[in-house]
Structure 1
Amino acid sequence: MDGNGRWAKARHLPRIAGHRQGVEAVRHISRAARDLGIEVLTLYAFSSENWRRPQEEVGDLMGLLRRFLKKEVEELVREDVRLRVIGDYRALAPDLVEMIDDVVGRTERNGGPSLVIALNYGSQAEITAAARALAKRVEDGEITADAIDEAMFEGALATHDLPPLDLMIRTSGEQRLSNFLLWQSAYAELVFTDTLWPDFDRTALEEALSVYARRHRRFGGL
């Protein structure tokens, strides 16, 4: 979800205004994804690199996250949506960690679609942690190094219990993955759009899905 700052700058507004509008886009796209039958929607909300931003902006983002959790929890429960969080979110403020744990706990038995939020997430860190976990199992004698294959490695990732990633969408015209789901994107289809995230709506999502539907996924075959 990229382009909040540029959206605000184009309107001569502070960056926080772009982030607020970005939260509204999250609400709209989450509902549209449910309506369109998408099983899992994963949103890159805060990367491990975002801590480099000005402290005031980081504080504003955390405040928006608090408000989002407070406002959306009842709808998530009512719509049978399961909230998941990937990334080192326990490094956030204690009250925010408690809120996240509460919402995740209240929705963990829901049987509908999953909304996955990546918080303090970096894919390189996720891959490194998986490698360390498997190395520790080898060191402890639980497994041998030769037993490690792609499936076992994938099982050590934060997304181990989610279905394979089909489509990656990046907004705002940038054409890179920016440390997001690098392993999981190995055979995902990539769609890059010039639309800024606050302007990304149901129509834009449907257009991206239409592009995806027209592609022939060979997975290395013919």
Structure 2
Amino acid sequence: MYKKTQYVFNEGKPTFVEVRQYKKTDFPALIEIQKESFPPPFPPELWWSDKQLTNHVELYPEGALCIEVEGEMAGSITALLTDFDPVHPEHSWAEATDNGSIRNHNPVGKTLYIVDVCVRPKYRSLKLGQLLMQAMYEQVVQNDLERLLGGGRMPGFHKYSGRLTAEQYAAQVIAGKINDPVISFLLRCGRTPVSVVADYLEDEESEGYALLMEWKNPFK
């Protein structure tokens, strides 16, 4: 059972937060956070459902974490275990996560695959997303896994797609010439690029592209 408490600073004031496994009584709050975190044009059908969340807590509760700020639900991160072949990195989010239902979770897999991470907009200045990602890195080390892996949306890409390929856009974000809300965040979290993948997710802003990014277990 994962549970971690600490303080973050909100406008200079120490603020208590807790990261823990989410449970069924948290579902309404988690779904509401999805709606706030992924507004249109993000497809509403990709928001969590009760059925998907039930699978998360029943099939792999260690990969179903949430964060509270002084008792208020503020965000979540979800993962499953899988195997990954670096030689053939191409895949879609639907293939990797069973459309978010994680029925393809492999208990003996050596890659912790991030299904989703989201934080309520009013709390994003507190860097809660980085705390959630750190909790997953700790799981990688604790469970002797090889890596954490996941595809990062590129929501800024549609502004540049007329003059840059997806690979060129990702390279400019990595070089610090462009700030992308998701990819830049993942870089700050310590993730490193693997490859750009096409047709990863039905996402108008990213035009279907994502940057596959990993964090390798430093003890392996």
Structure showing the higher helix proportion among its residues: 1
Indicate the structure with greater strand content: 2
TM-score (norm 2): 0.29
Larger RCO (CA under 8 A, 6+ residues apart): 1
Larger radius of gyration: 1
